[in-house]
Amino acid sequence: MSVKEIEKIKDMYRQTFIAENGEKVLEDLEKRCNMHNSSYVAGDANATAFEEGKRAVILHIHNMLQE
């Protein structure tokens, strides 16, 4: 993927999540994807991996918005 294509995608993320509705959706995703909480599930490595996968998605969105 070229730098120009990456910048286009980042701009699409910004357009999606900076709008009022997008901010509300992002806030909901942060709660559902453990943005501010631990992903660790005691005694269950698979559940921890699943929760960490959700968290990785929201972190990716935030990275796309900040760069």
Does 67 score more than 90 pLDDT? no
Does 10 score more than 80 pLDDT? yes
Q: pLDDT of 15-56, one tens digit each?
A: 999 999 999 999 999 999 989 988 899 999 999 999 999 999
Per-residue pLDDT, 48: 95
Q: How far apart are CA 50 and CA 4, in angstroms?
A: 33
Best CA proximity match to 10, nearest among 62, 56, 59, 57: 62
Per-residue pLDDT, 38: 87
Cβ-proximal residues to 30 (8 Å cutoff; 6+ apart), any chain: 36, 58
Per-residue pLDDT, 9: 96
- For the segment 2-27, the average pLDDT, to the nearest whole number, is 95
